[in-house]
Amino acid sequence: MIYLKKALRVAETGQDDVHDIVVEMLDAIAAKGEDAARQYARDLDRWTGEIILTPDMRAQAAALVPDRLKTDIQFAHRNIRRFAEAQRGTITDCEVEILPGLIAGQRQIPVSAAGCYVPGGRYSHIASAIMTITTARVAGVPHITACSPPRPGVGIPPAIIYAMDLCGADVIMAMGGVQGVAAMAHGLFGLPKADILVGPGNQYVAEAKRILFGHVGIDMFAGPTDSMVVADATADPELVATDLVGQAEHGYNSPVWLVTSDRALAEKVMDLVPGIIDSLPEPNRSSARAAWADYAEVMLCADAEGMAVVCDTYGPEHLHIQAADLDWWLQRLRSYGSLFLGEETTVAFGDKAAGPNHVLPTSGAARYTGGLSVHKFMKTVTWQRATRDGARPLAEATARISRMEGMEGHARSADIRLAKFFPHETFDLGAIDAAS
C-alpha cells in the first residue's frame, strides 16, 4: 500500500483538553442539582426559558414546520423504525435443558429509562432525534427523555422538536451540553434517572458521557466522525470526490480516506476535491478544507484484497464500496460501523433516512463493536432452575471445584443442599485442607 496523500494529524477519541472543565461541571451539577444546571444553561446557551417542554409548546413548534419537511421526517422515521423492528425481531428469549433436571434460559429486558442527546449547535441534527428516540421506543424502553441545546431567544429548533415528538419522546428538555447530559443521568427536573445515555455531541458531551460511564450506560466512546471510500477503476471520480467532501464537512478533524487500486482515479479525485470544497457555503467550506488538508488520506493498493486489508485495519465508521463485485466485499469485510455498497447509495443516505442507525463507532472502534441499535437499549439476562435430582451432580462438582480453588464458603453452599436433599447418602466432596 502506497500513500498518495498522508494525514498530517491523527484524530483522537480522547478529550484531554476539555476533561478538567467537564469534571468541574459534572461535580457542580452533582452537588447543586437543578440550580447548577440552570446556571450553566444561562451562562453557556444564554437560555432562561422553560426547560421541560409542555404539550402546547410541542404543538406550537410542530405548527412552524413546513408540511414538506414533516413528510420527509415521517419518511425517515418509517424507514428507521422498520429497520429497528427487524432488528428487534432477531432478539429472543430462550431456554434449554442443559442436563436432566437443570433448565436455564435468557430474557431480553429493555432498560427502564433512556436519555437521548440531540446535537443542535452549528447544525440542526433532526436525523439524530429520529435515530436515537425511534430505536429506544422500538426496543421497548418505558421512558425516553430527549434533550437538545436551545438557541438564545428561540429554543430548540421546531423541526427537532417535531421529530422528537413524532418518534415518541416522553419528555423533551431544552438543555444541551454537559448540563443536559448530567440532568438526564441524575434525574433532574422530575425525570427518572437514565439507565443509558445515547446520541452524538461535541467534545464536551462526549467527555461527559465518558466520565459518567459506569454510573450510567452509554452507547459508545465517540470521537470525530470518519469515512472511508473504496474505489476501483469502475468508480466515478466525481461521485467519490463528492462523497469524501460530504463527510469532511462534519468538522475540521473529521478524517476521510480513499483506498483505491487505480492511480488514475486517485489523481482525478484529488484534483476534484478542492473545487468541490470551494463550492460549499460557510462554515461547511472551512471545516471540509481543514479536514481534507490535515486528516485525509489517499491510499493506493495492488488489488481488492489489499484494499480490504486496509479497511479492516482502519475499522472506519462509514465504509463505502464503489467497486466491482459488491457481494465479495460484503462477505470479505469485517471491520466497519456501517457498510454502503455501490454508487447507488451514499453515507449521506444512512446519515439521514435510509434505516440503519447513524450513531456508529469512530476512531477504529468498529474493530470490536457495532453502532447504536435496539440491542443497546436491552439487557440479555440469564436464569436457571433445577430439580433436586438435577441439582445433585451440580452440587458435587461445585463442592470439589470450590475446594480446589480454596473457596470453602462456596463448597458449603453445595454441601448443605446435598445433605438436605439426599440425607441418607454420602458424597466425595473433596478434602478440606488449607495446605492444599
Enzyme catalytic residues:
317-318
Closest to 131 (Cα-Cα) out of 141, 143, 117, 121:
117
Rounded Cα–Cα distance for residues 187 and 194 (Å) = 7
Rounded Cα–Cα distance for residues 290 and 296 (Å) = 9
Q: Are 50 and 174 in contact (CB under 8 A)?
A: yes
Amino acid code (one letter) for 34: E
- Which triple of cell numbers denotes residue 178? 454537559
Rounded Cα–Cα distance for residues 346 and 354 (Å) = 10
For residues 6-36, one letter each, b for 16 or more C-beta atoms within 10 angstroms of the residue's C-beta and e for the rest, the string is ebeeebebebeebeeebeebbebbeeebeeb
Bridge partners of residue 96, in order along the sequence: 104
Rounded Cα–Cα distance for residues 392 and 421 (Å) = 8
- Give, in order, the Cα–Cα distances in Å from 393 to each of 105, 382, 412, 415, 417: 19, 21, 15, 12, 11
Q: Are 124 and 157 in contact (CB under 8 A)?
A: yes
